[in-house]
Structure 1
Amino acid sequence: MSRVERFAINKQGRDYAVGDIHGHFQRLLAQMAAIGFDPAVDRLFSVGDLVDRGPECPQALQWLEQPWFHAVQGNHEALAVTHVSGGWLDYSQYRAAGGGWFLDLPASEQARFAERFARMPLALEIATPGGPVGLVHADCPCASWLQLCEQLQAQVPQALQDYCQWSRHRLQVDDDRPIAGLRALIVGHTPLHEVRVLGNIWHIDTGGWSRGHFSLLALDNLSLANATAGE
């Protein structure tokens, strides 16, 4: 099974990307309403981390059923899958990162969430008038998008998945080398005060789940639909 999901160009409405949500769906809905998001024709693409930290984590499954909402698997969804599958976790760290709501669920409910999270792709590719836009949770370890997509076929190496979901290296070293084959790559994972662009990589987790705001990036023209001062 490929861990890449592709979407044709949206000819009826607009496409947007959003950073980490972390259980704050009502805040996100308010910002979507403020930009006039129309679920009948518009689509929202998420960099993952729908759960942990916020009070509305159980709503993640409802969002994943919406035809206008599409998300990659973030590291927090991966943690839930690892727990249910019997993999090793640092449980004190998992709880500190907001996973207590999940660990305290009955085993049957944990399994229901984990089954759905396990089916989330690791990468999304969206056609736009200016060329393809990609999404992964944290970063792309490859110099080209095609190379990453080829490696996300069948059995994905754990090291590759970990890089896509956990890496902060690009931001730490200010690596502005672009990812070939993409108009833009959209990532989250690392909360920032404002959107930051390195090469063609857009880091859009601006802490809407914390004390910041959700940055909604319009994919047709790569503009912030709800830009605030400084962005």
Structure 2
Amino acid sequence: METTLQSSPIVCRHAANTAGRDFVVGDLHGCVDALRYLLREIEFDGTRDRLFSVGDLIDRGSQSEEALTLLDKPWFYAVLGNHEEALCLVAEGSMRRSWWYGIGGEWAEGLPNETLQRYAQRLRTLPLVRVVGTGLRRFNIVHAEFFGSDTELDAGVFTERVRQQMLWGRELALGNGDPARQAGLSLTYCGHTPMREMGRIGSQLFIDTGAFAVTGKLTITEALTLNAWAVSIETAMAEGAAQMALP
């Protein structure tokens, strides 16, 4: 099932899914077993359904390398997260490994530079934005936050400050950003800032519920609906998620 209309390193557009369902998953952070469990719970069909990711596939959890293999699944579509950005910067020599390890990248301590560079080459193909559908059935996906309209998002012309905000920003989540600055922005799924429960602020729906944390969980929501599922990594493991196959 190929439904991408056009692609660029910044904005990638997808036609509406008329064959199946679309889901969006919060920050994985190496918690692939929790994802296995949730995909079984929602009866995900990899031949018809699509799973969009708000980024941060890696770091903190124990399955970062396995999370990166999701990028090769035909049903999986991610945007770049700040943790993927950090890996790329380390591989490109622009960030010290020690700084990355401090935010969860220590899983890569034993990996040679060549391996990191290979991962970075793949991650640099991920867009900052995914736009799905049109009109009233449209939704957007970014990692952290965006202030502006659909028109500005579609243009894909972002200053470095805006790009950094899309990867690292927390103004809206922390109550320091004015939702009125999102006039004309369709429902936009994002992660980056862990929330106790999935919730909407302005045009953005925050779906990172801290999968890697002891008290956290991974959340999946069906796009443009109120349907949502969540599980802790502890519960997923207790239910035998490690033996569950991915589509």
After superposing the two structures, state which structure 1 stretch, 32-41 or 175-184, moved more. 175-184
Structure 1's 145 and 102: CA in aligned 2 closer, same or farther, altered over 3 A? farther
Query: Which secondary structure does the structure 1 equivalent of 2:229 belong to?
Result: coil
Match of 1:19 in 2: 26
What is the CA deviation profile of residues 56-105 of structure 1, one whole-angstrom value per residue up to 9, with x for unaligned ones? 1111332001110000000000001111112134x444212111122431
2:145 maps to 1:143: no
**Alignment map for 1:1-80 (pairs within 5 Å):** 1-80=8-87
Structure 1's 108 and 29: CA in aligned 2 closer, same or farther, altered over 3 A? same
Match of 1:187 in 2: 190
Query: Which secondary structure does the structure 2 equivalent of 1:130 belong to?
Result: helix
Match of 2:229 in 1: 226
2:167 maps to 1:165: yes
Residues of 2 paired with 1:100 and 1:199: CA distance?
A: 35
Residues of 1 paired with 2:111 and 2:136: CA distance?
A: 44
Aligned residues: 222
Match of 1:118 in 2: 124
Residues of 2 paired with 1:217 and 1:128: CA distance?
A: 19
Residues of 1 paired with 2:71 and 2:117: CA distance?
A: 16
Residues of 2 paired with 1:48 and 1:56: CA distance?
A: 15
The one-letter amino acid paired with 2:115 is E
Structure 2 regions of 5+ residues with no counterpart?
A: 1-7, 232-247
Q: TM-score, normalised by structure 1?
A: 0.88
Match of 1:203 in 2: 206
2:220 maps to 1:216: yes
Identity, % of aligned pairs?
35
Structure 1 regions of 5+ residues with no counterpart?
A: none
Query: Which secondary structure does the structure 2 equivalent of 1:146 belong to?
Result: helix
Cα displacement (A) at 1:178? 6.6
Residues of 2 paired with 1:227 and 1:30: CA distance?
A: 10
Residues of 2 paired with 1:128 and 1:25: CA distance?
A: 31
Match of 2:237 in 1: none
Query: Which secondary structure does the structure 2 equivalent of 1:62 belong to?
Result: helix
**What is the root-mean-square deviation of aligned Cα atoms in Å?**
2.0
Q: TM-score, normalised by structure 2?
A: 0.83
Residues of 2 paired with 1:182 and 1:144: CA distance?
A: 4
Residues of 1 paired with 2:193 and 2:229: CA distance?
A: 20
Cα displacement (A) at 1:128? 6.5
Structure 1's 49 and 227: CA in aligned 2 closer, same or farther, altered over 3 A? closer
What is the CA deviation profile of residues 110-143 of structure 1, one whole-angstrom value per residue up to 9, with x for unaligned ones? 1110101111100001116832100110000x32
Residues of 1 paired with 2:66 and 2:46: CA distance?
A: 17
**Alignment map for 1:86-125 (pairs within 5 Å):** 86-89=93-96, 91-125=97-131
Residues of 2 paired with 1:19 and 1:157: CA distance?
A: 26
After superposing the two structures, state which structure 1 stretch, 115-124 or 207-216, moved more. 207-216
